[in-house]
Amino acid sequence: MIKVDRLAGGYGKKPIVKDISLDIKQGEFFALLGPNGSGKTTLFKLITGQLPVISGDIFIDGKAMSKLTKLEKAKKVAVLSQEVQMTFDYTVEEIISLGRYPHQKGMLKTLSAYDREVIDAVMEISKVERYRKTQFRLLSGGEKQRVLLAKALAQEPEILLLDEPTNHLDIKHTFQMLDLLKEWQQTKGLTIFAILHDLNVASLYADRVALLYEGSFLEVGDVNTLRKEEQLKKVYEVEVKTQAHPLVPKPQLHLTPTHSYSADPTPLLDSFQVERNESSVHLRFEQPLRTLSNADVGEGVQWLQHFCLVASHSVGEKSPSAWLGNYGIPSEQAAAIATTGNIEDVVLIEQRLMGIQLMIVVAIEVDVHKYKSLDGVHLLLFVDGHLQDKALFDCYMTVIEAKVKVCQQLNLQSVHSARDVVVIAANQQENQLGHREYKDDMRKGIEQLITTAMIEAIEKKFIKNGIML
């Protein structure tokens, strides 16, 4: 639908963009990405005819752009640019009506009944109908952007060219606009070429992206291009981390600030308080810890500051979140585990391993109706160091392996693992752990620490129940 062949151009004799080749298919949503000054707007103005081409060609539906008349271009292509300038004080309805101009016939160019149907329809779907008689100059920046989009859609174009279409829009209206564009793309075969600044938004809505860097394409491809962290760091000069979106198969980016959130890092074992009573154990850390957990509250991978083991009888019919709320603990910052065991039997062990501070917390639940049988094992491992995703999951697996080995070693009956909770938490402070893989020596050390803590907790629990190991 749009073909750009070895295009070069700019504002003078020296080209800003050079040797650009691009082929955008019919019905495709194509996003142009790049930092300020990379040439995005220059390329946009070359394609829309606002700047002269130094060399190369632009084709629309197989025909050279330079050979199309203004009316022919207006019937095929609609443009929404950043620059909003209205010489006359039109109403919203009058501005949107201008979008029908290429389709009007006769010398007087009057609006037909169909033209009015189209205008009413695009005003409704772009949610500007209530501004119909309002003067354009009285609208906010975001409202003006939606009106101009409605004008572009009123042209019923085959191609829509957009220069930062979500500029001035809040989150709600950004998604409303892009959802509308996706709907038109999918139902009407609209081809969309858009400059976007928000890489996460581009990933969610675009079919393909081009990364423009210093006037040339660094890469053109599907949105998985945005998974290449080193390339993005080179282009944008910031630290970027990518992760999969939790609901759709698209990457999402996390930008990392250069300043530190902890100017004076505190060792793990010096940065928490324990509040312990007959109904709960509450570990409260000075700073949030990056946590992997399958607890009912605080599940998944997130940053948490409170870790609570709560006696089931004290929770009662309330949810663990409600219990946390009663004690002023924000549930969105907490991992909460309800246990049928006695809170006084919870074991907490601190240890230094290979120069790294570690802490393990173990809560054991016993099946009193079966000899030497566990009803549940809850394990929390705290690490003073930086754990990447793989290391988090490796620690998780080490905890599981240690639990199984202890049960085999003590000849215990089956553990109802579906009820068990494992929590791995790290303060992400840079130390030697952050520069070393999760190797066998560290894994074995953590496994031994868990084994020691589990055996101590099991012995304490069994002796209370008159069972000798």
* Statement to judge: residues 88 and 154 lie in one domain: yes
* Statement to judge: residues 295 and 225 lie in one domain: no
In the numeric block, which tokens belong to residue 153?
A: 């859609």
Choose the final residue of a domain: 256, 290, 319.
256
* Statement to judge: residues 150 and 68 lie in one domain: yes
What's the pLDDT at 155?
94
What's the pLDDT at 83?
61
* Statement to judge: residues 294 and 340 lie in one domain: yes
SS3 for the chain is CEEEEEEEECCCCCCCEEEEEEEECCCCEEEEECCCCCCHHHHHHHHCCCCCEEEEEEEECCEEHHHCCHHHHHHHEEEECCCCCCCCCCEHHHHHHHHHHHHCCCCCCCCCHHHHHHHHHHHHHCCCHHHCCCEHHHCCHHHHHHHHHHHHHHCCCCEEEEECCCCCCCHHHHHHHHHHHHHHHHHHCCEEEEECCCHHHHHHHCCEEEEEECCEEEEEEEHHHHHCHHHHHHHHCCEEEEEECCCCCCEEEEEECCCCCCCCCCCHHHCEEEEECCCEEEEEEEEEEEEEECCCECCEEEEEEEEEEEEHHHHCCCCHHHHHHHCCCCHHHEEEEEECCCHHHCEEEEEEECCEEEEEEEEEEECCCCCCEEEEEEEEEEECCCCCHHHHHHHHHHHHHHHHHHHHHCCCECCCHHHCEEEEEECCCCCHHHHCCCCHHHHHHHHHHHHHHHHHHHHHHHHHCCCCC
Largest CA distance in the chain: 103
Residue 71 makes CB contacts below 8 A (sequence gap 6+) with 102
Domain CATH number, residue 157:
3.40.50.300
* Statement to judge: residues 331 and 234 lie in one domain: no
In the numeric block, which tokens belong to residue 306?
A: 């409170």
* Statement to judge: residues 456 and 369 lie in one domain: yes
- Return the half-sphere exposure (C-beta side, CA atoms, 13 A cut-off) of residue 215: 12
Choose the final residue of a domain: 256, 285, 302.
256
Distance (Å, rounded) from C-alpha 301 to C-alpha 289?
Answer: 10
* Statement to judge: residues 188 and 98 lie in one domain: yes
Distance (Å, rounded) from C-alpha 373 to C-alpha 336?
Answer: 24
What's the pLDDT at 122?
94
* Statement to judge: residues 99 and 142 lie in one domain: yes
pTM for the whole thing? 0.84
Neighbours of 107 (CB within 10 A): 5
Q: CB of 144 within 8 A of CB of 84?
A: yes
What's the pLDDT at 434?
45
Domain of residue 129: give its range. Answer: 2-256
Bridge partner residues of 210 (DSSP): 32, 220
In the numeric block, which tokens belong to residue 172?
A: 């709600």
What's the pLDDT at 102?
87
Domain CATH number, residue 401:
3.60.70.12
Residue 266 included in any domain = no
Residue 267 included in any domain = no
Residue 264 included in any domain = no
How many domains does the chain fold into?
2
User: Is the backbone of residue 152 left (phi > 0), alpha (psi -120 to 50) or beta?
Assistant: alpha
Distance (Å, rounded) from C-alpha 154 to C-alpha 97?
Answer: 7
pLDDT along the chain (469 residues), means of 10: 92 88 96 95 92 92 88 90 72 93 76 92 93 93 91 94 90 93 94 96 97 95 95 93 92 82 75 92 95 94 95 82 89 92 89 88 78 82 91 91 87 71 91 55 86 86 60
The CA distances from residue 115 to 105, 110, 183, 208, in Å, are: 11, 9, 21, 33
Residue 368 makes CB contacts below 8 A (sequence gap 6+) with 465
What's the pLDDT at 183?
93
* Statement to judge: residues 245 and 315 lie in one domain: no
* Statement to judge: residues 242 and 341 lie in one domain: no
Apex CA 183: angle with CA 177 and CA 184, to 5°? 90
Q: Could you report how far apart the first and last alpha carbons of the chain are, in Å?
A: 77
Distance (Å, rounded) from C-alpha 70 to C-alpha 138?
Answer: 30
What's the pLDDT at 3?
95
Do the strands 63-64 and 334-339 form a parallel or antiparallel pair, or are they unpaired?
unpaired
Distance (Å, rounded) from C-alpha 234 to C-alpha 231?
Answer: 5
Q: CB of 362 within 8 A of CB of 274?
A: no
* Statement to judge: residues 300 and 157 lie in one domain: no
* Statement to judge: residues 9 and 128 lie in one domain: yes
Choose the final residue of a domain: 256, 289, 308.
256
What's the pLDDT at 334?
96
Distance (Å, rounded) from C-alpha 51 to C-alpha 49?
Answer: 5
- Closest alpha carbon to 147 in 92, 99, 78: 92
